[in-house]
Amino acid sequence: MKQSKLYFSFLGLLVSLFTFTSCGDDETPVTTGSSVTVTNTFQSTAFTSDAELAIEDLFQVPAGSLAASATVSSGVEFPAYLLNLYDIDIDENSISFEVVAQPDDANYGDLFRIIEADTYDRYYFTFDNAQEIEGYTSSNSSVKLRVDSDKVVVVEIGEGYDFKTGQNFKITLN
């Protein structure tokens, strides 16, 4: 009798553990339906004297005018972002970029190249509510993710990135 009580207690404990463990597996790093705003900065020893400048400063347009906001959904959140430079897609588990500017693009055509040392193209994603982004893997070794807070992550494109039409990368979040 004692042995069967012990068996059922142990069985109950296992069921509880599996149930609570399974619940945690359903969490995703980003919540669908969250509002997110993207802004961009650029820093280079060659072009900005190593200062991190808002992209609006470089294009000489009003502050904040190139920021964009969207709601995380199943579609592309930021099509043709930054004067038709990137399509940026965010979902529950990743952030993807694709260069859509064409080789003859007036803003970017002359800038296509392998990104040199000490040059950083940063994309700040600010969410309206806390997200569960703890880490990442990148499909491109020249692209990193920095988690500044539970509401802000920064995609940093740096040295060695082959900046050209059609280039794409994906950051898988965890």
What are the tens digits of pLDDT across the range 64-109?
999 999 999 999 999 999 999 999 999 999 999 999 999 999 999 9
Is residue 16 in some structural domain? no
Distance between CA atoms of residues 72 and 75, nearest Å: 8
Nearest partner of 127 among 37, 21, 10, judged by Cα: 37
Is residue 8 in some structural domain? no
Is residue 162 in some structural domain? yes
Angle at 134 between CA 16 and CA 81, to 5 degrees: 130
CB 80 within 8 A of CB 87: yes
CB 156 within 8 A of CB 83: no
What pLDDT sits at residue 24? 47
Is residue 14 in some structural domain? no
- The parent domain of residue 46 ranges over 35-173
Please tell me the pTM assigned to this model: 0.85
Residue 142: burial class (beta carbons within 10 Å; 0-12, 13-18, 19+): middle
User: In which residue are the tokens 């940093």 written?
Assistant: 156
Is residue 137 in some structural domain? yes
Distance between CA atoms of residues 50 and 44, nearest Å: 5
Spans of the chain, pLDDT less than 50: 6-24
What pLDDT sits at residue 132? 97
For the chain, where are the E strands, in sequence order?
35-44, 53-54, 68-71, 78-80, 86-90, 94-99, 113-114, 119-127, 136-138, 143-147, 152-157, 162-163, 168-173
Is residue 55 in some structural domain? yes
What pLDDT sits at residue 166? 97
What pLDDT sits at residue 19? 42
Count structural domains, the chain.
Answer: 1
What pLDDT sits at residue 1? 53
Is residue 70 in some structural domain? yes
Is residue 5 in some structural domain? no
CB 99 within 8 A of CB 165: yes
